């Protein structure tokens, strides 16, 4: 029975070859940032209020003119096609069924235009490589397809040292060694999908269809990005994109202040799920200083390490607008395809509503800073 994140994780581990599971589950170096994300959330407790009318719980909100059923979204996840054929489309459909937004990754394996047809509130996440023309054509296509926000990921000037991937020989072009080949053979359902559909390619790096060059795909997999990208690049993006622009990967309050100066429309506090700088703080720890720097002028979202609906409430009590999840829906996708991802998202929604009821808050607006309390404080 798949009741929670731990169940979904175990199910994904059973279904997927090790190199795919480790790509999704792993983090940088000693994976201490990954552990820190969870530990910091555990140190935050929720302090309930009593004798409140909670007959009806309203979790809906509006973000950039779109209505979401809850303050939960699907974070951008690369190489979803390794989990299930057409995985990006399935994940977007699951989000649409749950009434939640989906952020499509630059490293997706389905075309920007095809994923947009899911009906979900769609944002597009952008990596900028040295050849900026690749980014330009993706941004133009995302705008033409009707994506409502552009999410520039800013914490990948170079890839974190993801040692699990290195040990598994996970790189482009993919050439499995004997141990990986044996492991793949022991996962026949996964192998059958690859046999029918082929290994997924990074189809959006090429404007007119088909996979991009091996060099471009390798650059994305290694997170070999444009290391000259600076604040002045936002003007370049503004010429291409006239909708909301969100920066993802902000941890420093000084960067939050600069984002305001450059007219950014929103921030996502994130340490990339612990996959970049292993010495970085937990995202929930970095959230309050960023919120203080922004002072309510733009919405601040958060991801990295969130597992339960109660974790969402903790972030909202501190002042976040919503929380994005990566591993939870992707493990749901691994376990049960679109239905599995939808069930994982609906479980988060149910946990959120139950937590609000127990907290004595009948809406998101009723969540207060006093509802969260830090152990030892």
pLDDT digits (tens, 9 = 90+) for 144-191: 999 999 999 999 999 999 999 999 988 766 777 888 889 999 999 999
- Whole-angstrom Cα distance, residue 105 to residue 96? 17
| pLDDT top residue among 224 and 362 | 362
The secondary structure of residue 274, as a DSSP letter, is G
DSSP-derived pairing of the beta strands 102-104 and 122-126: parallel
Tell me the pLDDT tens digit for each residue of 334-362: 999 999 999 999 999 999 999 999 999 99
Backbone dihedral region for residue 124 (phi beyond 0: left; psi -120 to 50: alpha; all else: beta): beta
Residue ranges per structural domain of the chain: 5-47+58-370
Q: Which of 248, 268, 251, 283 is nearest to 39 (CA)?
A: 283
Q: Do residues 271 and 283 touch, judged by C-beta distance below 8 A?
A: yes
Tell me the pLDDT tens digit for each residue of 204-216: 998 876 655 555 6
Whose tokens are 């490293």? That residue is 107
Q: From 2.60.40.10, 3.40.50.150, 1.10.443.10, 3.20.20.70, which CATH number describes the 5-47+58-370 domain?
A: 3.20.20.70
Give residue 237's Cα distance to chain centre.
21
What's the pTM value of the predicted model, to 2 decimals? 0.96
Alpha-carbon distances, residue 278 vs 179, 204, 235, 255 (angstroms): 28, 29, 31, 19
- Whole-angstrom Cα distance, residue 25 to residue 196? 25
- Which residues participate in catalysis according to the annotation? 272
The secondary structure of residue 370, as a DSSP letter, is G
Indicate the range of 110-124, 158-172, 288-302 predicted with least confidence: 158-172
- Whole-angstrom Cα distance, residue 145 to residue 54? 40
Residues 6+ apart with CB under 8 A from 334: 8, 11, 12, 15, 16, 24, 83, 84, 340
């Amino acid at each position: 029975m798949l009741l929670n994140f731990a169940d979904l994780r175990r199910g994904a581990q059973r279904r997927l070859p090790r190199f795919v599971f480790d790509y999704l589950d792993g983090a940088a170096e000693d994976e201490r940032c990954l552990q820190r994300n969870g530990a910091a959330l555990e140190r935050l407790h929720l302090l309930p209020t009593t004798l409140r009318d909670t007959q009806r719980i309203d979790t809906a909100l509006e973000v950039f003119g779109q209505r979401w059923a809850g303050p939960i979204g699907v974070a951008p996840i690369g190489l979803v096609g390794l989990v299930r054929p057409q995985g990006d489309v399935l994940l977007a459909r699951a989000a649409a069924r749950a009434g939640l937004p989906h952020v499509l990754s630059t490293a997706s394996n389905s075309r920007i235009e095809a994923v947009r047809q899911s009906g979900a509130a769609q944002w597009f996440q952008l990596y900028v490589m040295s050849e900026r023309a690749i980014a330009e054509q993706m941004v133009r296509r995302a705008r033409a397809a009707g994506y409502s926000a552009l999410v520039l990921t800013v914490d990948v000037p170079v890839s974190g040292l993801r040692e699990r991937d290195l040990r598994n020989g996970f790189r482009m072009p993919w050439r499995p060694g004997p141990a990986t080949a044996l492991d793949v053979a022991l996962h026949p359902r996964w192998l059958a999908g690859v046999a029918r559909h082929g290994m997924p390619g990074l189809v959006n790096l090429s404007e007119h269809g088909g996979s991009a060059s091996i060099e471009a795909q390798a650059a994305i997999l290694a997170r070999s990005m444009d290391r000259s990208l600076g604040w002045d690049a936002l003007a370049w993006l503004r010429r291409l994109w006239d909708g909301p622009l969100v920066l993802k990967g902000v941890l420093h309050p000084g960067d939050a202040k600069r984002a305001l100066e450059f007219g950014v429309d929103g921030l996502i506090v994130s340490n990339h799920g612990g996959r970049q700088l292993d010495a970085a703080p937990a995202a929930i720890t970095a959230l309050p200083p960023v919120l203080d720097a922004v002072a309510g002028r733009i919405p601040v979202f958060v991801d990295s390490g969130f597992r339960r609906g109660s974790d969402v409430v903790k972030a909202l009590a501190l002042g976040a607008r919503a929380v994005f999840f990566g591993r939870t829906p992707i493990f749901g996708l691994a376990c049960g395809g679109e239905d599995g991802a939808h069930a994982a998202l609906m479980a988060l929604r149910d946990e959120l509503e139950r937590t609000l009821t127990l907290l004595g808050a009948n809406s998101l607006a009723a969540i207060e800073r006093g509802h969260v309390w830090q152990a030892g404080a």
